[in-house]
Structure 1
Amino acid sequence: MKRVALLGMPNAGKSTFFNRLTGASARVGNWPGVTVDLLGAKVLIGANMAEVVDLPGIYDLQGFSEDEQVVRRFLSANPVDLALVIVNTAQIERQLSLILQLKHLGVPMLVLLNMSDESKKLGITVDTAQLATLLDCPVAMLSAKYGNGYQSAYLAIQKKLNTAAPAMTADLSIAPLPEPALEAAMELILGAAVQIPAHASDVLTQRMDRVLLHPIAGLPIFFLIMFLLFQGIFILGKPIQDGVAWLLELLRTAALEPLLSGLPAPITGLLLNGIYNGVGTVASFVPLIVLFFLFMALVEDSGYLSRAAFLMDASMAKLGLDGRSFVMVLMGFGCNVPALMGTRVMRSRSLRLLTMLVIPFSLCSARLQVFVFFIAALFTPRQAPIVLFSLYMVSFATVLFTALLFKSKFVNSEPFILEMPPYRFPTWRQLVLRGWQEVHHFLHRATKFIIIGVVLVYVLTNFPSGVPAASSGTIAGWLGASLAPILDPIGINQQLAIALIFGFVAKEIVIGSLAVIYGQDGGALMGTIAHQVDWVQAFSFMLFTLIYTPCLSTIATIRTESRSRAFTVFALVWPMVLAWAISFAFYRTARAFGY
């Protein structure tokens, strides 16, 4: 099997090309010599089955960031048949250096000049034949986003693999190119093969930045955009969510209950009241989660998140963080795990640790499922976006408070350098692919965590036999009662306490656990919750769920990335303490005012 490595600088469109080449049939795996997981996929390219590995974006092979070390270790430990170097053509004058470094190491290459649509708008032209001659490797131009030139690039990859020499590793013992020699080679290539207008600039980007990066109005505009995003999610998503819940209930009553009626009662209860209720309740909220990520894809892929990092950098610096930390917190809205892994671009260990400490306070998609359920159950459609937005504000507040409190323990002196990409808008294909990836992620976690979790909850709420389900006589009842002295002061009852215990494993289990505990799903479950819990208790529960100890996957990633057991324990305990304190303050204050 051939091995193809994707390399390039950040924001060069590497992931977009990877998805187009592989059809997003990606898996995460660990390669020899590399201590972190990388994205890879097996795909047939012509007559060759190839393993395509998406390496982290780097600026320099000689750099000191962890991502740069990961790339060096991979190339030196894993034979590669072909390195596909993805270049942002609109920034070719800055990205040639990485190509020349790889060429100097003798890595078999094919250069793909991506974002040809943007370079064309800027009036940048490249003589690909001349560039191929000067680099002594094939060169192809394409737009991975729109697919222009993709077929020619694919044929070039196929041809190169058919004629490639045996796979080889990079010899990192070779002395790097001296800086003067590197600059001279870049000047020669740019002069012979590239034409860049004297005033190449994106007029639209400049006009939008005057407003969105305004020193006074910039941050209010950012938070307004986020609020409107949440408003759109509920307006568009609630009817879809109700439709899915109706279909799931119809499937149960019309098909599953008659089909399973002949089985023994304990088995029927486990399958219907346990697994189906638990997974089905969570599944009914998937449309809202998909919509959230589609909207976030628009914000993220447009280049606006880089602007948000720029706007927040000065404020974050006062907290011992920088703009990159803010971007990682925003990434954590999707999932805390990749956001934690993204801190590898930071050279300062102190900055990495402080950023890793605050990322788990990001309101991830798993928590979002919990909040959407409770908001739909206890708040009106007019109130819903405001409640969700307030939780995101609390998320930001806990990040800022934690950083301010512990910045003296994690002193950072690393300068912050940020490259502003032009504004871009994702294609429909990219949006659909993003939505599918989130559904796939849900289904994957459903098989790993949710089914196991709801089965365990069913066992705990139905044993020992002979007592009412979920009553104080069951194992779950005993667990809930034992936590009452801690959770009663913040308005969390025994049923919610049991769900929180399983939420430590994965937050996706929380709603499924409640479905099993109450023996109901969908609208019936929401009605029961609304009858037993008032809005103050619900909001206190959501605050606690937002802040308290992150899931096992997040804790494991913190342990791996920090390489410190003591820091991992601290990252486990501090959110628990903070969650209780904030929920207690809210709950007691609300009750004191008569709510």
Structure 2
Amino acid sequence: FSGWRITVKRIAVLGMPNTGKSTFFNRFTGATASIGNWAGITVDLMMANLTLAGIPTEVIDLPGIYDLRGFSQDEIVVQTFLESTPLHLVIIILNTAQLDRQLSLALQIKHLQLPAVLLLNMADEAPKFGVKVEADKIAQHLQMPVIPMSAKYGGGYEAAVEAITHALQHQEQPICVPDLTDRLLSNTQLTSELDTILYAAVHIADQQQDALTTRLDRVLLHPVLGLPLFFAAMYLMFQVVYALGAPLQELLGSGLDWFKTVALEPALANLPPFLKGFLIDGLYDGIGTVAAFIPVILLFFFCMAIVEDSGYLARSAFLMDALMERLGLDGRSFVMSLMGFGCNVPAIMGTRVMRSPGLRMLSMLVIPFSLCSARLNVFIFMTTALFTPQVAPLVLFSLYLFSFAAALITALLFKGRFPNKDPLILELPPYRFPTTKQILIRSWSEVKHFLRWSNRFIIAGVVIVWLLNNLPPGVPPASAQTFSGMLGEAMQPVLAPLGITSQLAIALIFGFIAKEIVLGGLAVIYGTSTDASLGSTIAHQIDWVQAYSFMLFTLLYVPCLSTVAVLKSESKSAKFAAFAVAWSIALAWTTSFLFYQGARLLGL
């Protein structure tokens, strides 16, 4: 069989932002997507391998772009990919209700003579906006298959897959387009051909509106009520996450403790004490403390998926744009900061859509102050341990407000250093309620991301913390004579004015690697087996003022190692990454100092 060669065909998925491209990609590829590196391209792209009618196929999801002539980072990535990567097929995804603004992208692909299939997504929504499309006439003009469909609900999906498979079977040789921009039509030619197609095949009623969207926008985009309603919605979301997540977290923690008592301790009873302590008190307890937060993460991203996919997140960018403009930012920066609530890393990478270097740099400086899911774990634990169920959601919400405040202060102070002249172009999609399947897929994807990072960082961090807490041999664990005790005491001149103890200092130091390590580190440092006993132990050693000061410092100080790495790679400047780290430490120390010392002066 050595002479046999299996040919893998390659498909690229291309479309404008907010056209449902990722929804189609997820439906088309299932759960097989992963990150791939591509020669000559500065970013990683989503890719998946599947089989279509017996043909091994590689599918690549390209960044959303508006124009192949553009100069944004994402547009350059797509240009470079098409120039350097041979393709058997391009799948173009457009919004059926917005063909007057989007069909130009399909025209550009046509004139590059790339084999393509055009999918008119959200075809079920077009009639709400008075849009009627004759797909067969568009297909005649573009000389490619054109299939109306709904990636969200699956209408027309089978016909789309059939068209894609048929086109792939008949395209034997891959094609790439060197000197892509030189081969594109001029704007005048493109506009003329676009007008011809629109006149013949796209019919738009004079009054095009979605009644529900119009009614909701009158309230949710109100110049006075809009922002208070948005923050009220966020607060309600935190209440739901806390009310449902805390009992589930406690249940999972109890289950892990039961397994340890019933199965793990008897199985390891005959091991040497040092090894037994390492496996149970170090590795298992540390990882178990973090694993107990999986229900909370799932609920948080379940709610965030509803907010984002419903179209409300885009409206928050619109509401905040006027304020952000005064800070040297715009609504896109606000959206990226909201994305940072999940993870700072993809939010920083998302700034590539900004053409202005100043806007990108300033946005990257403020995004690390977004309260990411890893910090959320720490805060939910601390609020549960030291505050009543009535007060805990308010405390958690206040930390989100501090997160926003830190970003705003940073932007105000440094907007002169990073000037921005890039105008904001923002389309507000109609309100849509995402399907349960979409929400669950998004939520589970974030949980998998959390578990992936856990495997990479948390285990190593917990092991190191346990070793520091139990070495050198012959000294009491977690005492001042251990390496961790020495390290904590060395940090006390800096952290004692903030009310942060030597034990908490150790967790902060290792939190620089990944904030997920903080909880596992605390479990090892305090030598407790369950989330409940850890909370009780900490509550007996520090008061709520110290806990809140610790949470403020955790919120604002150095972002995790992966965030620092992506800051350096995206800014292409080690100096900028170092500046971002130094500023976050300075702001964290100052904020915690003012809070702690002010609270003590007031007798709290």
Shorter-chain TM range is over 0.9
For 1:272, which of 271, 280, 290 is the aligned residue? 280
Kindly state the Cα deviation for residue 269 of structure 1 after the two structures are TM-superposed.
Answer: 1.3
Aligned-partner Cα distance in 2 for 1:94–1:173: 20
For 2:467, which of 442, 459, 463 is the aligned residue? 459
Kindly state the Cα deviation for residue 390 of structure 1 after the two structures are TM-superposed.
Answer: 0.1
Aligned-partner Cα distance in 2 for 1:581–1:174: 54
Aligned-partner Cα distance in 1 for 2:105–2:520: 49
Higher mean C-alpha deviation, range 174-183 or range 234-243: 174-183
Kindly state the Cα deviation for residue 125 of structure 1 after the two structures are TM-superposed.
Answer: 2.5
Conserved? CA contact 1:470–1:518, under 8 Å: yes
Q: Map of 1:440-589 to 2, 5 A cutoff? A: 440-520=448-528, 521-589=530-598
Conserved? CA contact 2:69–2:181, under 8 Å: no
Higher mean C-alpha deviation, range 122-131 or range 489-498: 122-131
Conserved? CA contact 1:75–1:170, under 8 Å: yes
3-state SS of 1:3 partner: strand
Structure 1 position 74 matched with structure 2 position 81 = yes
User: 1:569 corresponds to which letter in structure 2?
Assistant: A
3-state SS of 2:50 partner: strand
Aligned-partner Cα distance in 2 for 1:48–1:120: 37
Can you give the 5+ residue segments of structure 1 that lack an aligned partner in the other structure? none
Q: Map of 1:128-527 to 2, 5 A cutoff? A: 128-171=135-178, 172=180, 174-520=182-528, 521-527=530-536
**Alignment coverage as a number of residue pairs:** 595
3-state SS of 1:409 partner: coil
3-state SS of 2:120 partner: strand
3-state SS of 1:6 partner: strand
Can you give the 5+ residue segments of structure 2 that lack an aligned partner in the other structure? 1-7
3-state SS of 1:408 partner: coil
3-state SS of 2:64 partner: coil
3-state SS of 2:416 partner: helix
Kindly state the Cα deviation for residue 121 of structure 1 after the two structures are TM-superposed.
Answer: 2.9
Structure 1 position 83 matched with structure 2 position 90 = yes
Aligned-partner Cα distance in 1 for 2:323–2:128: 35
Aligned-partner Cα distance in 2 for 1:516–1:41: 40
3-state SS of 2:415 partner: helix
Kindly state the Cα deviation for residue 446 of structure 1 after the two structures are TM-superposed.
Answer: 1.3
3-state SS of 2:451 partner: helix
Conserved? CA contact 1:105–1:174, under 8 Å: no
Aligned-partner Cα distance in 1 for 2:150–2:58: 22
Conserved? CA contact 1:249–1:522, under 8 Å: no
Conserved? CA contact 1:461–1:469, under 8 Å: yes
Aligned-partner Cα distance in 2 for 1:534–1:59: 53
Aligned-partner Cα distance in 2 for 1:359–1:265: 45
Aligned-partner Cα distance in 2 for 1:407–1:84: 40
Aligned-partner Cα distance in 2 for 1:24–1:575: 37
User: 1:388 corresponds to which letter in structure 2?
Assistant: L
Conserved? CA contact 2:305–2:443, under 8 Å: no
1:56 equivalent in structure 2 = 63
Structure 1 position 590 matched with structure 2 position 602 = no
Conserved? CA contact 1:543–1:583, under 8 Å: yes
- TM-score, length-normalised on structure 2? 0.97
How large is the RMSD of aligned CA atoms in angstroms?
Answer: 1.1
Aligned-partner Cα distance in 2 for 1:70–1:46: 30
Kindly state the Cα deviation for residue 46 of structure 1 after the two structures are TM-superposed.
Answer: 2.3
Kindly state the Cα deviation for residue 173 of structure 1 after the two structures are TM-superposed.
Answer: 5.5
Aligned-partner Cα distance in 2 for 1:19–1:52: 11
Kindly state the Cα deviation for residue 130 of structure 1 after the two structures are TM-superposed.
Answer: 2.2
Structure 1 position 122 matched with structure 2 position 129 = yes
Aligned-partner Cα distance in 1 for 2:516–2:106: 43
Higher mean C-alpha deviation, range 161-170 or range 451-460: 161-170
For 1:26, which of 30, 33, 42 is the aligned residue? 33
